[in-house]
Amino acid sequence: MTTHTLDICGVHVSPHHYIGGQRSTSPESFELHSPIDQRLLGHVSEGGAEHVDAAIQAAQQAFPAWAALGAEKRKGFLDRFAEEIGKRADAFCVLESNDAGVLLSRMRHGVVPRAMLNISWFAEHALRLQERQIETDQALHRIRHDPAGVVAIITPWNSPLMLATWKLGPALAAGNTVIIKPPEWAPLSSSLLADAANAAGLPPGVVNIVQGRGATTGARLVSDPRLARISFTGSVPTAKWIAQTAGANLVPCSLELGGKSPFIVLEDADLDNAAATGALMYRNAGQVCLAGTRFLVHKRVAGAFIERMRGYVERLNIGDPRDEHTEVGPIIHPRQVERVKGFVDRAVSAGAKVLWGGALHPYGAQYFQPTMLTDVAQDSEIVQNEVFGPVLTLQTFESDAEAVRLANDVDYGLGGVCYGETARATAVAEQVHTGFIWVNSFGIRDLAAPFGGCKRSGIGREGGDWSFEFFCDIKDVIVPNKPFRASFSQR
């Protein structure tokens, strides 16, 4: 077992895989750079076919005993797991700020507490799913949630710790064993998560981490027929490939994908509150799938709304995410910077007007100005496709029906926001084809509630019972109320 670690601003973390309770090295590796200043953070092990196979074997070997423990005993392990995450709170903050560019303040006050809750809440919730009963005149139906087996979890780079634990919590609480393939642009928090699992005493093979690129390591993982489930959060093109590959083996997939969510402002909205919320769409440099990125504002109040929001945007602190006062940090990778810039340049060339921003930010090479574009056509690329950067569009409407039509006229359906008089805004929100939508608010979440999207925004729901329905095999044990005698009916 290697002791080599990377030193990330005083935090030591392994750059290697975690398989069967042990660190495992690779002859191949890839470079990891910080989005803050492009400095080299180190070299990370690249998983090959042998590492994927070893992780699956370790998970298979650990599964029978972990599944047999039952929800109550698993809860003891998982509660300790959550505690060990908490003990490493400062380290998680440092790692994810440095390799993913996530705001330190967001990590400390939002992500780490949520990561702990993702583990402990689902461990508690699993106790309620031990067995449900349906009694009829003929029989007693005992409905069981049995663990499915070995689960692959593939996470994106925009919030690695939160999204890994969001899937890991219910998967483990249900009795499955897990292989995590972290994002190659931001793998370090997953590596530290393995240390927390080990310190909590989770049996070897229950949690495994195999690092690598999606096109190589990820492809080998999702194509393996020994998997019982695949849970993926990421892009639509990758999801299509995963679904096709998993389909060949009839492995069920949960796919949480991108968004192009509407932010609707009716003419009777509290414009100042709506504008302040609108500025939040630039958090994490706009790399948030559930953000409202298409502003649909009633024509009568568009001018006033724009000026209010401009005031909030001009006050945003842009800079080093490790500074507690920073509100907008860097874009994750040079390739993503070019993608964002390309969207804006093409939109402007097609006639879009820049209300603010529109270019790289002078703070650093991977920083982009918070941007708002208007005079955009409904069928344009910038309106129809996910940018995943600090770029928003603004269109106007003259009736609630038109607002709903524009909101629904994209291929995505993840989230949404609607500001206006509560009853009216609720009526509009109910007509938007999306997985969830906030009325006069943003970001309110509960682990018991469903999360997921419609159309190209994904398949399935996560949260509460919905997570367990995916990570479990639902079984009906049927016990008759009176002696049963087999007979054949005759015609």
If you search the block for the tokens 């495992």, which residue do you land on?
24
Q: So which residues are the catalytic ones? A: 256, 289
Could you tell me the sign of the dihedral formed by the alpha carbons of 463, 97, 278, 237, in that order? negative
Which residues face 295 on adjacent strands?
A: 263, 394
If you search the block for the tokens 């945007």, which residue do you land on?
313
Q: SS3 breakdown of the chain: % helix, strand, coil, rounded to 5?
A: 40, 25, 35
Between the alpha carbon of residue 374 and those of residues 207, 340, 410, the distances in Å are 47, 16, 17
Closest CA to 8 of 110, 91, 124: 91
Which residues face 480 on adjacent strands?
A: 139
Alpha helices in 200-270 (DSSP H): 219-222, 236-248
Strand 261-265 and strand 292-298: the pairing is parallel
Cα 443 to the chain's mean position, in Å? 14
Instruction: Determine how many CB atoms are found less than 10 A away from the CB of residue 2.
Output: 12
Q: What would the two tokens of residue 89 be?
A: 């709170």
Question: CA 187, CA 197: separation in Å to the nearest integer?
Answer: 16
> Which 8-state DSSP code applies to residue 286?
G
Helix or strand or coil: residue 386?
coil
Residue 104 host element (H or E): helix 104-106
Residue 193 host element (H or E): helix 188-199
414, 289 in Cβ contact below 8 A?
A: yes
Instruction: Please count the CA atoms within 13 angstroms of the CA of 157 that sit on its side-chain side.
Output: 26
9, 42 in Cβ contact below 8 A?
A: no
Question: CA 147, CA 155: separation in Å to the nearest integer?
Answer: 21
454, 300 in Cβ contact below 8 A?
A: no
Which residues face 298 on adjacent strands?
A: 397
Residue partners of 215: CB distance under 8 A and separation at least 6: none
